[in-house]
Amino acid sequence: MKKLASLLGVLALSLLLSAVAAFGLAPAAQAKEAKIGFAFSMTGGAAAYGATQKNGAQLALDEINAKAGADGIKLVALFDDDASTPQQGINVFNKFINADKVSVIMGPTLSNTAQVADRIAQQAGVPVLAISNTAQGITEIGDFIFRDSLTEAVVIPNTINTVKAKLGIKKVALLYGNDDAFTKAGYEAFKNALNQAGIQIMSEQTFAKGDRDFSPQLTQIKGMNPDAIVCSALVEEASGIVAQARQLGIAASVPIIGGNGFNSPALIKNAGQAAEGVIVGAAWNAASPLPLNKKFVEDYTKRYGVAPDQFAAQAHAGVYILNEAIKKAGDPNNRKAIRDAMTQVKDLDTVLGPFFFTPGRDAGSQPVVQVVKNGKFAVLGN
């Protein structure tokens, strides 16, 4: 009899537990949370970009989560370091997908990492939002891969045409890194844009990641007397190139024109005075008068003690884009529904402007051309 009573007790308890599981608090609370994995370069050659990406994302996460009301979905963020390398990017993606079971991934920082890591997410059916990959061939990996970063193929022709119109450049020397997906893509984009614009390419020279001495290439370039130096480099090498060009006596009247790799305050910090006059195409500039952007620049500066850069802005916008897609999907754990909802994001108010994806899942925003003036990226033209 006693045995029967305890058996009934166990039965009642397990019924109660399964009722809680079916209708109760625990799963309902879980269903209101969306896990997002953030893979940014916190160490390695691209750490300057990763640091501001994390800041921009964190600011947006806190804004969104502070507003999430009774029906709101809480965004749960998992940050990890892709170490600026493809191998570590793969490790982080695998962990996010299989161990953490995230609903969506933002990152990785470099195209060089994305071109391998994104394949894992595509195969697993996990949506990815790239916020700084600008090489070609990233969104082409598959229909789960999106980006809010403008490609070099969009930004660079605009940069070259603006520079041609404003500065009347006719002949340039071209210098690029030949061992990275982004620097190679930037080189191709520059070459095409220069050819299209009828600007003569006097020479093409290369360097590798980690190089510190660019004097052989720059000495040759100096001897050619170009109107400008066009350069596709990540920020570590870009900083050295800019500083050494001026040290070698290439006049400040010969502008250095860079791609997205130059688009970091780290360039200005590392190269100092030599960075003045550097021209960089971009997807965003701090001076954008959009009310949302003004608030972002203010809040970010207050929180972190420095002004945001484009990488912070793209990360901030990216979190809002994911939030919108997760809300539209209805179920924060349904990766496929989130992917489908991403394609429906339209006219979303972000710090990059009203945002939408092109049919190829790339960013639909407009580029701008910047010039370094008094230690800041100012607008040269649109």
Which residues of the shown chain bind ligand 1QQ in the complex (CB under 6 A)?
46, 49, 109-111, 132-135, 182, 234, 260-261
Q: Closest distance between ligand 1QQ and the C-beta of residue 102, in Å?
A: 21
Q: Closest distance between ligand 1QQ and the C-beta of residue 263, in Å?
A: 7
Q: Closest distance between ligand 1QQ and the C-beta of residue 46, in Å?
A: 6
For ligand 1QQ, the closer of residues 218 and 234 by Cβ is 234
**Dihedral angle sign, alpha carbons of residues 235, 236, 238, 240:** positive
Phi (first) and psi of residue 15, to 5 degrees: -65, -45
For ligand 1QQ, the closer of residues 49 and 324 by Cβ is 49
250, 257 Cβ separation under 8 angstroms: no
Q: How far apart are CA 173 and CA 42, in angstroms?
A: 33
For ligand 1QQ, the closer of residues 37 and 259 by Cβ is 259
For ligand 1QQ, the closer of residues 182 and 326 by Cβ is 182
Q: Closest distance between ligand 1QQ and the C-beta of residue 220, in Å?
A: 25
H or E element that contains 17? helix 2-23
Q: Closest distance between ligand 1QQ and the C-beta of residue 180, in Å?
A: 7
For ligand 1QQ, the closer of residues 107 and 332 by Cβ is 107
Take residue 214 and report the two structure tokens written for it: 């660019």
**Dihedral angle sign, alpha carbons of residues 22, 23, 25, 30:** positive
Half-sphere exposure of residue 253: CA atoms within 13 angstroms, side-chain side: 2
Please enumerate in sequence order all residues whose Cβ is within 8 A of that of 55, keeping only pairs 6 or more positions apart, or say none: 300, 303, 304, 308, 312, 315
Helix, coil or strand: residue 287: coil
Phi (first) and psi of residue 201, to 5 degrees: -95, 110
For ligand 1QQ, the closer of residues 46 and 83 by Cβ is 46
Q: Closest distance between ligand 1QQ and the C-beta of residue 138, in Å?
A: 8
Burial label, 100 (beta-carbon count in 10 A; 0-12, 13-18, 19+): middle
